A and B are shown apart, each in its own frame.
Chain A
Amino acid sequence: MGRILIIAEHDGSELNPSTARCLSCAGEFSGLDCDIAVLAKDGQRVCEQAAALFGVSTVIRVDNDANEHALAAVHAPQIAKLAEQYSHVLGPSTTFGKDLMPRVAALLGVAQISDIMSVISQHSFARPIFAGNAIVSVEIRAQDKVVATVRTASYQAAASGGNATIESRALDVELPTHTRYRGTSSSDGVGRPDLQSAAIVISGGRGVGSEKNFALIYQLADRIGAAVGASRAAVDAGYIANDHQVGQTGKIISPELYIAIGISGAIQHITGIKDAGTIVAINKDADAPIFEIADIGLVGDLFTIIPELEKLL
């Protein structure tokens, strides 16, 4: 009989919504109990949030000063140690999980499955390759532990209402000191919805034309409580910071409503929005590829359409 361990993503005080999405994926392994590990400097608050998620058996609290910031090289040996008691170890396919989980897998001497979209059996999964242009079902050898990242856009967050026990654990493993955290700068202040969990996302592309013009996108987004995304071209041009990039090499998102403004619809961008509920495209070029996949398309100049929308919404 197996057991699943999910590695919690958090910032020291708040549990990231990606953890609740991993839990929904864990729910697809019928019959396996699921624990969550919280590695932190002082994990009390995050552990309480994890314990409140529905479907968690035990929250494992691993406090250590070295865990103040999520450094893969420091986390990995601890998780490899915890993994001894588990058949499956899951993390989110966010930059946190992508950095960490392959390092864990290598320490355990097993393969790592990236971006689980669905669970076929306890050892087989569907995952995207070629920027989502093909889906493979892959099977891990039965004798191996499963170490994987969960494609968060494929899963809803698990509900709260649980009441798991929190268990502190001291791990006897040597931690490297060769990697040191120096800081993080985030582009958006507080108060705006998070791009990866927002119900509505409005993205701007190269067509927006400048950093100054991006204020139009922000105004419209603030009006309807949307998060702001961008194409790579807009980020490369310096209109907006990198953490807004949506696509194959940016964020893969699944909002209920996605509004693409001045974005042509390159495959690498589309990869990031395939799971959106409804896609709206606004572009002045009637032949832009984005219209091939948009549920609602509007051909026109964004500089006239955005102010009109602001009045109407």
Chain B
Amino acid sequence: MDRILVCLKRAVDYNVRIRVKTDGSGVVTDGVKMSVNPFDEIALEEALRIREKGETDEVVVVSIGTDACQQQLRVGLAMGADRAIHVRTEQALEPLDIARILVRIAETEQPGLIMLGKQAIDGDNNQTGQMLAALWQRPQATFVSKLTLSGTTATAVREVDAGLETIEFDLPAVVTSDLRLNEPRYVKMPDIMKAKRKPLATIELEELGITPQTRVTVLQTAAPPVRQKGKMVADAAELVAELKRMDLP
């Protein structure tokens, strides 16, 4: 195939302990470390391996958001992507609009595969890939832990509640990555330097002719109820006695 499109979302780093603002207006994101959503790094790694096997000519990374997204695109370029597309907007977009934007990009880029993370670890929506596949009217393989391409079709192993499901589908298609698809490579210093010279195109959201909508409003953000630290017991016998006291087996 000519190219694979990989979506990179700028998300709060997974090591950050998130705090809810006391006035309930959201979570504290000022000064918090931002990274590429971990699932997206896995998606990109897979695309790069496919290119290294000679099954695609080009890997293009896409991010939608403010100028700050360019940091994550540079990480993607340093990992090995050939070029980057930044769709610039100051608005917080809902997954359906992200999907509409990605369809527009797909129409110009004509990728054989669009790869995304199965979920962003901040919004935890787990929707964008599926919505994109619906609007693009193409197959979707979600929660993928193994991907094999063969000409005009592909086979994916999906991590589902019942175990591992295998599906076969026609290309082009949308694939969302699960954790065990691969282990992303580390970025090396010279690659970071090289990435600075790779092409990064910026498109204003307005140029795509898409007007985002507010279908969902966040009314309030609250801290979850916390579980209190319980009791420490000294040994197995005391543990069993404690469970019995609580009427547990």
In the complex, the answer to whether B232 meets A297 with C-beta atoms within 8 Å is yes
In the complex, the answer to whether B227 meets A243 with C-beta atoms within 8 Å is no
**For B223, what are the chain A residues with a Cβ–Cβ distance below 8 Å?**
133-135
What residue of chain B has the Cβ atom nearest to residue A186's Cβ? B163
Query: Does residue B237 face the partner (Cβ distance < 8 Å to A)?
Result: yes
Query: In angstroms, how far is the closest chain A Cβ from the Cβ of B26?
Result: 8
Query: Does residue B233 face the partner (Cβ distance < 8 Å to A)?
Result: yes
A279 to B231, CA, bound (A): 11
Query: Does residue B162 face the partner (Cβ distance < 8 Å to A)?
Result: yes
In the complex, the answer to whether A102 meets B131 with C-beta atoms within 8 Å is yes
Question: Which of B99, B229, B232, B242 is in CB contact (< 8 Å) with A299?
Answer: B232
Query: In angstroms, how far is the closest chain B Cβ from the Cβ of A239?
Result: 13
Query: Does residue B203 face the partner (Cβ distance < 8 Å to A)?
Result: no
What residue of chain A has the Cβ atom nearest to residue B172's Cβ? A178
Query: In angstroms, how far is the closest chain A Cβ from the Cβ of B126?
Result: 5
Chief secondary structure at chain B's binding surface: mixed
Query: Does residue A131 face the partner (Cβ distance < 8 Å to B)?
Result: yes
In the complex, the answer to whether A72 meets B231 with C-beta atoms within 8 Å is no
Given contacts A11-B162, A73-B139, A130-B122, contact A106 B224 (CB under 8 A): no
Query: Does residue A30 face the partner (Cβ distance < 8 Å to B)?
Result: no
A139 to B220, CA, bound (A): 10
Query: Does residue B17 face the partner (Cβ distance < 8 Å to A)?
Result: yes
Q: Mark A20-62, 1 if CB is under 8 A from B, else 0.
A: 0000000000000000000000000000000000000000000
A184 to B118, CA, bound (A): 20
A124 to B12, CA, bound (A): 26
A293 to B224, CA, bound (A): 13
In the complex, the answer to whether A114 meets B134 with C-beta atoms within 8 Å is no
**For B221, what are the chain A residues with a Cβ–Cβ distance below 8 Å?**
129, 134-136
In the complex, the answer to whether A106 meets B135 with C-beta atoms within 8 Å is yes
Query: Does residue A183 face the partner (Cβ distance < 8 Å to B)?
Result: yes
Q: Mark B163-179, 1 if CB is under 8 A from A, else 0.
A: 11111111001000011
How big is the A interface, by class?
35 or more
In the complex, the answer to whether A309 meets B236 with C-beta atoms within 8 Å is yes
**For B158, what are the chain A residues with a Cβ–Cβ distance below 8 Å?**
95
Number of B interface residues at 8 Å Cβ cutoff, please give it: 82
Q: Mark B211-247, 1 if CB is under 8 A from A, else 0.
A: 0001111111111101101111111111110110010
A98 to B249, CA, bound (A): 34
Report which residue of A109, A129, A274, A297 has the largest number of chain B beta carbons within 10 angstroms of its beta carbon.
A129
Query: Does residue B22 face the partner (Cβ distance < 8 Å to A)?
Result: no
Q: Mark A232-253, 1 if CB is under 8 A from B, else 0.
A: 1001100001110000110100
What residue of chain A has the Cβ atom nearest to residue B39's Cβ? A249
What residue of chain A has the Cβ atom nearest to residue B11's Cβ? A130
In the complex, the answer to whether A134 meets B232 with C-beta atoms within 8 Å is no
In the complex, the answer to whether A99 meets B142 with C-beta atoms within 8 Å is yes
Residues 79 to 123 of chain A near chain B (Cβ within 8 Å): 94-96, 98-107, 109-115
Residues 109 to 132 of chain B near chain A (Cβ within 8 Å): 118-119, 121-132
In the complex, the answer to whether B240 meets A309 with C-beta atoms within 8 Å is yes
In the complex, the answer to whether B162 meets A184 with C-beta atoms within 8 Å is yes
What residue of chain A has the Cβ atom nearest to residue B179's Cβ? A249
In the complex, the answer to whether B163 meets A241 with C-beta atoms within 8 Å is yes
Query: Does residue A213 face the partner (Cβ distance < 8 Å to B)?
Result: no
A268 to B121, CA, bound (A): 10
Query: Does residue A137 face the partner (Cβ distance < 8 Å to B)?
Result: yes
In the complex, the answer to whether B130 meets A134 with C-beta atoms within 8 Å is no
Query: Does residue A200 face the partner (Cβ distance < 8 Å to B)?
Result: yes
In the A-B complex, the 7 residue pairs with the smallest Cβ-Cβ separation, listed nearest first, are A295-B230, A106-B134, A186-B163, A102-B130, A308-B236, A102-B127, A106-B131
Chain B residues with CB under 8 Å of chain A are 12, 14, 17-18, 20, 27, 94-96, 99, 118-119, 121-135, 137-140, 142-143, 145, 155, 158-170, 173, 178-180, 214-224, 226-227, 229-240, 242-243, 246, 248-249
New A-B contacts (20) at CB < 8 Å, excluding given A99-B143, A179-B140: A11-B162, A71-B167, A73-B140, A94-B161, A106-B134, A114-B125, A115-B124, A128-B124, A136-B219, A141-B216, A182-B155, A236-B179, A242-B159, A291-B232, A296-B230, A296-B231, A296-B242, A297-B233, A308-B236, A313-B249
